């Protein structure tokens, strides 16, 4: 099998961090997003949506979406604290991962897609239409980001990690979200000491360099 990867995008990085934590090695094929290689015919034959990452199995079947790829590997390898080893921890990690995606990551996407010049009038002939930017959605994203970081900071009071007592997939998801937010000039306020402490610990893990 082989993993189609990209160096700076957050979703491929989430898979790399997970694989690094699990100690799993896999063949990687790099896709150059800056030159729009993901929109070329060769890659669209792998993933018609033109998104990375994508995991191509030996059978030829392709699994897309970073969370699905990580869950596939978790099912193949011994269970770990990353996705939970008890029913309660599994639920906690799933709950926080979804919240991070829907409240934090989505807020960053609102800002980027509706503010950055790189996304203005961006479409691909014959594949998907131009989606107009809506400045109010960028403002909405910034408001949602503030609410997300404030809630996470409060939750982390007296806690080392987000979902359970161990570092988990929820922490991986939050780390890539906070780093992704920098591209939208969204930051964690200096007063949110719990979240900043958590970020320092998460970013210090060897896997964060993957």
pLDDT of residue 131: 78
Q: What is the pLDDT of residue 122?
A: 59
Task: Please give the model's pTM, rounded to 2 decimal places.
Answer: 0.93
Residues near 8 by beta carbon (within 8 Å), at least 6 away in sequence: 33
Instruction: Quote the pLDDT of residue 8.
Output: 87
**Which pLDDT score is estimated for 128?**
60
What pLDDT, on the 0 to 100 scale, is given for residue 168? 98
What the block records as the tokens of 193 is 């000491």
Low-confidence ranges of the chain (pLDDT < 70): 117-128
Q: What is the pLDDT of residue 132?
A: 84
At 126 the pLDDT is 53
């Amino acid at each position: 099998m082989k993993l189609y990867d990209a160096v700076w995008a957050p979703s491929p990085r989430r898979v790399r961090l997970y694989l690094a934590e699990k100690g799993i090695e896999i063949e990687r094929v790099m896709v150059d997003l800056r030159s729009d290689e993901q929109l070329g015919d060769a890659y669209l034959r792998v993933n018609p949506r033109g998104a990375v990452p994508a995991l191509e199995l030996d059978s030829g079947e392709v699994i897309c979406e970073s969370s699905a790829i990580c869950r596939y590997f978790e099912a193949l390898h011994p269970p770990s604290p990353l996705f939970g080893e008890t029913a309660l921890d599994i639920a906690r990690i799933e709950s926080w991962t979804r919240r991070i995606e829907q409240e934090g990551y989505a807020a960053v996407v609102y800002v980027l897609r509706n503010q950055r010049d790189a996304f203005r009038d961006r479409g691909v002939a014959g594949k998907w239409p131009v989606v107009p930017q809506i400045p109010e959605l960028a403002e909405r994203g910034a408001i949602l980001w503030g609410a997300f970081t404030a809630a996470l900071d409060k939750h982390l009071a007296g806690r080392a990690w987000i979902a359970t007592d161990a570092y988990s997939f929820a922490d991986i998801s939050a780390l890539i979200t906070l780093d992704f937010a920098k591209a939208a000039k969204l930051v964690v306020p200096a007063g949110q000491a719990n979240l900043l402490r958590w970020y320092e610990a998460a970013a210090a893990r060897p896997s964060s360099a993957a």
